[in-house]
Chains A and B, each alone.
Chain A
Amino acid sequence: MNAAHALDVDRIRKDFPILSRTVRDGKPLVYLDSGATSQKPTEVLDAERYFYENANAAVHRGAHQLAEEATDAYESARARIAGFVGAAPSDLVFTKNATESLNLAAYSFLNATLKQRQGLALNPGEERFVIDVGDEIVVTEMEHHANLIPWQELCAKTGAVLRWIPLTDEGRLDLDQLDVLITERTKCVSIVHQSNILGTINDVRRVGEYARRVGAVYVVDACQSVPHMPVDVVALGADLVAWSGHKMLGPTGIGCLWGRSETLLAMSPFISGGSMIETVTMMGSTFAKPPARFEAGVPMTAQAVGLAAAVDYLADLGMENVYAHEHSLTGYTIERLLDLPGVRIIGPADDIDRGGAISFVVDDVHSHDVGQVLDDHGVAVRVGHHCAAPTCRRFGVSSTVRASLAVYNDERDIDTMVTAIRDAQRFFGVRV
């Protein structure tokens, strides 16, 4: 890996038109909510517009020139996005978002289980997805609802039992009990790479070793890692890896599910219709090979093109540089927050193995009220439970304030936020 070099944030900010607007009576926008969704550079907006103005057609259908060009644009986008995460294009499935990717994973278990219980033939390798009553699914106590509820639903429908890896008070996975939690009963282990609420970066390779030892399907939610650090999905040791486009400078409406070829081949589709078939008769149908098997209907082509432009943009910056920049800004943010009396960080209070999603609470001021005062200063953060309500409960809070960083943020943004936090304390009479 080359030594990281500093990002020119002033130059980067010029690529994001929205960052030059003002909010709430002329305040410059300080956008610290990229964990929810990132802003988009002109390159991404232009790519989508160019596609619609020059090549728009339904892909994988039609023999006309536009259909060919649209199909090329779509498949070339797949190849660039796959290359960005070290994957083969044929192993990359486009979905609506990471939530759909994770549901696709969970429904593969339900489909296999129903097929087995009906006595239907399974795909080669699909036995791994068959659940018997009493089998177990393992997640962690820091999952986003998108990587929790699909598994709860799967358990309710199949008779499986959900177990979870607990957290330490510091906000890290407590891996001491892994061999007790991940056993021969475990059919699936699904964990987050970087927590969206705590910021913790988990040792997914280590957990993966336990999953592999018992033959469990291993799923990684990489929503908050792929946008912020170099990720080689093959090297993570997972069967399936899910992430979203809109958190990595790309458009909404597109997400990804990478899978090992043999894993994808084993899985049955959960959305069916056009484009995902081989032969169709009134008596039944056979399905296409992955990734087409999981992409029923006319896909989100302009969004794929936009996401490819986003990964090109990130690759030009260099993901090592993106990581180094955000890592250093994370450290600065934590330092500034720790300096503030009455402010408590929820999650690791250092910059070791943690990313730029930084949650905190302000004593005696509800996070919603903190967020309102920050908004008045032009600072956009997220407040609430961040779709991780059980994690909040684990730390005895109902909600937090979360600042989440991206390539276009720098220390000035954090300084503005800190000033605004002090103002919130003053406003609510906590401190003068």
Chain B
Amino acid sequence: MRLEDMYQEVILDHYRAPHGKGLKDPYDKEVHHVNPTCGDEITLRVKLSAGDDPVVESVSFDGQGCSISQASASVMFDQVNGMPLTQAMASVDAFSELMRSATETVTPDEELLGDAIAFEGVAKYPARIKCALLSWMAFKDAAAQETASR
């Protein structure tokens, strides 16, 4: 059944018990992203360590949306929280690439993607790609804003 291609068990697990949900203090930057077609939204906070090669000290988020957007945020948290920023950004890129896998040949990097690899089926549903990307793009935006302000 096609439905299970998208809603992998690991995705439903993250949806039911999301990691990193609930806004945390302290933080450096907060962003608010919405998906205007469906009304899903996320508020995301990020804190980076000092120095030239910062570490993502803390990521937290809150928001509401479908199972795909909520599970994706949880998976994103696992892949970026506590990681060196360069690696976290590489995970964002790997996930963005995975979302293009319906039209491009993509070799998923399991190391960078972790549980996010389960979202490969979502890429087959163009209307849901934006749901999956919402939190990742919010993180990318917040981290980029914070880096630029330093």
Residue from B1, B39, B66, B128 in contact with A389 in the complex, judged by beta carbons closer than 8 Å = B39
Tell me if B3 is interfacial: C-beta within 8 Å of chain A: yes
Q: Is the CB of B2 within 8 A of A24?
A: yes
B32 vs chain A, min Cβ distance (A)? 14
Contacts A372-B128, A428-B67 given; does A384 touch B1 at CB 8 Å: no
Q: Mark A7-32, 1 if CB is under 8 A from B, else 0.
A: 00000000000000000110000000
Q: Chain A residues with Cβ under 8 A from B67's Cβ?
A: 366, 368-369, 428
Q: Is the CB of B3 within 8 A of A398?
A: no
Q: Chain B residues with Cβ under 8 A from A369's Cβ?
A: 66-68
Task: Give complex CA distance A347, B134 in Å.
Answer: 30
In chain A, residues 340-369, which have Cβ atoms closer than 8 Å to a Cβ of chain B? 366-369
Q: Is the CB of A392 within 8 A of B3?
A: no
Contacts A383-B38, A392-B39 given; does A25 touch B2 at CB 8 Å: yes
Q: Considering only CB atoms, which chain B residue lies closest to A423 in the complex?
A: B3
Interface range, B side: 20 to 34
Do most interface residues of chain B lie in helix, strand or loop, or is the interface mixed?
A: mixed
Q: Is the CB of A384 within 8 A of B38?
A: yes
A108 vs chain B, min Cβ distance (A)? 28
A261 vs chain B, min Cβ distance (A)? 39
Q: Is the CB of A376 within 8 A of B66?
A: no
Q: Mark B123-150, 1 if CB is under 8 A from A, else 0.
A: 0010010010000000000000000000
Task: Give complex CA distance A392, B41 in Å.
Answer: 14
Tell me if A373 is interfacial: C-beta within 8 Å of chain B: yes
Q: Chain B residues with Cβ under 8 A from A383's Cβ?
A: 38
Q: Chain A residues with Cβ under 8 A from B8's Cβ?
A: none
Tell me if A399 is interfacial: C-beta within 8 Å of chain B: yes
Tell me if B56 is interfacial: C-beta within 8 Å of chain A: no
Contacts A368-B68, A372-B125, A372-B128 given; does A427 touch B38 at CB 8 Å: no
A35 vs chain B, min Cβ distance (A)? 16
Tell me if B64 is interfacial: C-beta within 8 Å of chain A: yes
Contacts A372-B128, A376-B3 given; does A366 touch B39 at CB 8 Å: no
Contacts A384-B38, A385-B39 given; does A368 touch B7 at CB 8 Å: no
Q: Is the CB of A398 within 8 A of B1?
A: no
Tell me if B40 is interfacial: C-beta within 8 Å of chain A: yes
Q: Mark B1-24, 1 if CB is under 8 A from A, else 0.
A: 111001100001000100000000
Q: Is the CB of B39 within 8 A of A398?
A: yes
Contacts A385-B38, A399-B39 given; does A368 touch B3 at CB 8 Å: no
Q: Chain B residues with Cβ under 8 A from A25's Cβ?
A: 2
Tell me if B37 is interfacial: C-beta within 8 Å of chain A: yes
Tell me if B82 is interfacial: C-beta within 8 Å of chain A: no
Q: Considering only CB atoms, which chain B residue lies closest to A365 in the complex?
A: B67
Task: Give complex CA distance A50, B12 in Å.
Answer: 52
Q: Is the CB of A427 within 8 A of B7?
A: yes
Q: Mark B33-61, 1 if CB is under 8 A from A, else 0.
A: 00001111100000000000000000000
Tell me if B65 is interfacial: C-beta within 8 Å of chain A: yes
Task: Give complex CA distance A366, B2 in Å.
Answer: 19
In chain A, residues 361-415, which have Cβ atoms closer than 8 Å to a Cβ of chain B? 366-369, 372-373, 376, 383-385, 389, 392, 398-399
Task: Give complex CA distance A429, B7 in Å.
Answer: 13
Q: Chain B residues with Cβ under 8 A from A372's Cβ?
A: 3, 6-7, 125, 128
Q: Is the CB of A398 within 8 A of B40?
A: yes
B68 vs chain A, min Cβ distance (A)? 7
Q: Chain B residues with Cβ under 8 A from A427's Cβ?
A: 3, 7
Task: Give complex CA distance A156, B38 in Å.
Answer: 26
Q: Is the CB of B66 within 8 A of A366?
A: yes
Residue from A368, A389, A392, A428 in contact with B131 in the complex, judged by beta carbons closer than 8 Å = A368
Task: Give complex CA distance A367, B69 in Å.
Answer: 12
Q: Chain A residues with Cβ under 8 A from B68's Cβ?
A: 368-369
Q: Considering only CB atoms, which chain A residue lies closest to B125 in the complex?
A: A372
B20 vs chain A, min Cβ distance (A)? 19
Q: Chain A residues with Cβ under 8 A from B64's Cβ?
A: 398
Task: Give complex CA distance A368, B138 in Å.
Answer: 20
Q: Considering only CB atoms, which chain B residue lies closest to A385 in the complex?
A: B39
Task: Give complex CA distance A385, B36 in Å.
Answer: 9
Q: Is the CB of B65 within 8 A of A366?
A: yes
Q: Considering only CB atoms, which chain A residue lies closest to B1 in the complex?
A: A376
Q: Mark B63-80, 1 if CB is under 8 A from A, else 0.
A: 011111000000000000
Task: Give complex CA distance A398, B12 in Å.
Answer: 21
Q: Considering only CB atoms, which chain A residue lies closest to B63 in the complex?
A: A398
In order of increasing CB-CB distance, the 7 nearest A-B pairs are A368-B66, A366-B66, A384-B38, A398-B39, A385-B39, A376-B3, A399-B39
Given A368-B128, A372-B6, output 10 extra A-B contacts at Cβ < 8 Å: A366-B66, A368-B38, A369-B66, A369-B67, A369-B68, A372-B3, A376-B2, A384-B39, A389-B39, A429-B16
Binding site for B on A (CB under 8 A): 24-25, 366-369, 372-373, 376, 383-385, 389, 392, 398-399, 427-429
What are some 30 contacts across the A-B interface (CB < 8 A)?
Answer: A25-B2, A366-B67, A368-B38, A368-B40, A368-B65, A368-B66, A368-B67, A368-B131, A369-B66, A372-B3, A372-B6, A372-B7, A372-B128, A373-B3, A376-B1, A376-B2, A376-B3, A384-B37, A384-B39, A385-B38, A389-B39, A398-B40, A398-B41, A398-B64, A399-B38, A399-B39, A427-B3, A428-B12, A429-B12, A429-B16
